[in-house]
Structure 1
């Protein structure tokens, strides 16, 4: 009887140990009992409509579509408003990483914010997948081991837009530029494209982020006599500048307005009566493919607006990250980053996307044009795709990158 009892006890111990081992193996590479994604975006300022709360919706959709868990553990989502302040963003990111075990941070619309958080997170061994910032410095002079630039940059935007405008006679340019990292980067890259095509930059003026009065800047632009008044800004800054230019009759008097970064929500805010004919470059349009339409309709039902390229990018980036964690069998940043670098990304946002060693995700971009009111068949039928710009032409070639990681 004693021997039988000992054998039974031993067998039960082995069963329990086997179960514990299986559970442990299933999530052996996770740093905590969950995987957590953080969306850090402008929830209340000039970029609220283009990313903001919609980015949180997109990230949650990705988590739900993935199944809500990875490696047997739940996926959690946290979000916060960076208020377009690098100090606020850095403080939030530090708390998320040090106290809340956030594994990946996305969003980051605002280049100063994006650079600050990417640097901090990489120092702590945490991946950032930036969907909202534009500056090329994220993958050039300030590239990091764990920083990924996912949707667009200030090199890819003018490749489509400025090229089309110069080739159609817009030879002289005047810039109204948002006075921070993004605006300066966009002006520099656009100027390079314009001048390489034989055009000329005749002047420019800097405007504070979030200004509501563009009158003095537009007067200077008008007085320059430039063929093109280029807006190196985004969000409500772009909308306000175009509306005020329209009220001044600038376009009617022969000058062309060029929005160097325009979002679907900007066109919606302007209305097609004002925006019609406006050309710009984007990474995504909701009506471009069946897959994009189906996903965008789901997004619309949750958010009440069709997605911008950066909101769609948040969904894609989050899904790609979770897939990489699954394939790596861990949330260790080095292992996950290696898997991301080996992946080819194909989803509703991008086809054939590749994440390069400097963190740049290369993919096709699209030159689009705002429809006329007569062409539109619905409230969000706002754009037509004019041309596809292949990824190898849209972004800085790896052979020309200044990222120091490439020297290793």
Structure 2
């Protein structure tokens, strides 16, 4: 018997097969981040929660298409992060590479996606990422190291803190941050009187602190973060260090871990503080419905940038990286605190930051009430100049 297939039968069969297959996401976010190690508490699972909040606010889809999130830990290792990113790009059709909160990993992934139809929003801040390693589809969510260095050091040098000693983590980020801070300090008339490099395995900083005390430093610049920063602060208290501790990446999780009494009258700058105004407090309340604490500044920018990306997908009608990046740069990004930010052609995000001091235990009204916002540092006061940029997208090179 001859078997004849009609067009309607073939269509019905195709429909049946398609309906039997698992639904495929048309918007795929690859969340590549520090999910373990010293940095994990500040970003990690908490920033992933913020990403999912933004997706939930879109109803889990955009333009009628499902949004999927892939998750992986880069372990702070460029080869691990690059391997995951390559798999996601080549096999999972990822549209957005998100967080990438390690400078060495971000530099590797930046090279990978340069000619790919993939957007990257990165929580790394190495100055190379907006200069020679800038890319046509990438945005920097943090301040770059040069802007952060100026924001933290210049007010303190002007106030008399003109002798600096650095304790620096042996990561690309640490070395870059110390170099940018040194440039800012010396440009303002201060000096760097010494520095030490600590490995990721360091747990005892006592010899480093003694060296800092003997150097006559007025400020100890902590070009490090997370658990290392907390340990330095605790041990400085034990040794009676009188020099001002000057952290570059102080989050409320660090203060909670080290204890507010350990971090007294520390000053710095921050992109977001949960108790800044009614808008930030409302967001913090929502955030805590699914997480055990208020959001850090890194969690806040995870929500802000995810929302900005999804708005770009909605507005452009798809995930084409060229169209997305143009939209991201042409449209101001709403921030949780009611302000807005803009993304430049080199990927740098222009946004105001906020100066703070840590409260005394007596001033604190309770758990997580750690900071007093003391002023605003305008974005254009600290942003790197586009005239000095080495980014080919700016220079035309």
Same structural fold, with TM-score higher than 0.5 when normalized by the shorter chain? yes
- Work out which of the residue numbers 67, 74, 98 in structure 1 matches 2:90: 98
Structure 2: state its 5+ residue gaps.
Answer: 1-7, 16-23
* Structure 1 gap ranges (5+): 1-11, 21-31
Distance 2:255 2:338 in 1: 22
| 2:152 paired with 1:161 | yes
5 Å-filtered alignment, 1:266-277, equals 266-277=254-265
Shifted more, 74-83 versus 117-126: the winner is 117-126
1:189 maps to 2:177 = no
CA distance in 2, matches of 1:147, 1:372: 40
Residue 226 (1) aligns with residue 226 (2): no
Partner of 1:399: 387
SS in 2 for 1:155: helix
Contact 1:278–1:369 (CA under 8 A) maintained in structure 2: yes
Residue 34 (structure 2) pairs with residue 42 (structure 1)? yes
Superposed structure 1 runs of 4+ greater than 3 Å apart: none
Deviations 1:281-307 (A, max 9, x none): 111111112111111111122110111
CA contact (8 A) 1:39 1:55 kept: no
SS in 1 for 2:339: coil
Q: Is the 8 A contact 1:156 1:365 kept in 2?
A: no
**What is the match of residue 298 of structure 2?**
310
Q: Deviations over 1:38-76 (max 9, x none)?
A: 211111101011000001101000000122111111111
Q: Is the 8 A contact 2:287 2:294 kept in 1?
A: yes
Which of 354, 357, 362 does residue 374 from structure 1 map onto? 362
Out of 329, 333, 344, the residue aligned to residue 317 of structure 2 is 329
Deviation at 1:233, TM superposition (A): 0.6
1:134-164 alpha-carbon deviations (Å, 9 max, x no partner): 2111111211111110122212223232122
Report what 2:5 is aligned to: none
The number of aligned residues is 376
Pairing 1:198–2:189 present: yes
Counterpart residue number, 2:134: 143
| Alignment root-mean-square deviation, CA | 1.8
SS at 2:145 equivalent: coil
CA distance in 1, matches of 2:94, 2:58: 18
CA contact (8 A) 1:312 1:349 kept: no
Can you list the C-alpha shifts for 1:213-244, whole angstroms capped at 9, x where unaligned? 21222222122121111111111111111111
Q: What is the Cα deviation at residue 308 of structure 1?
A: 1.1
User: Equivalents in 1 of 2:105, 2:228: separation in Å?
Assistant: 17
CA 1:33–1:204 in structure 2 vs 1: closer, same or farther (change >3 Å)? closer
Distance 1:238 1:97 in 2: 35
Separation in 1, partners of 2:150, 2:93: 39
Q: Deviations over 1:325-382 (max 9, x none)?
A: 1111110111111111111011305622111101111100111111000111120111
Aligned to 1:28: none
Q: Which whole-Å deviations, capped at 9, do the CAs of 1:250-293 have from their partners, x for residues lacking one?
A: 12xxx222112211211111211111211111111111121111
CA contact (8 A) 1:228 1:256 kept: yes
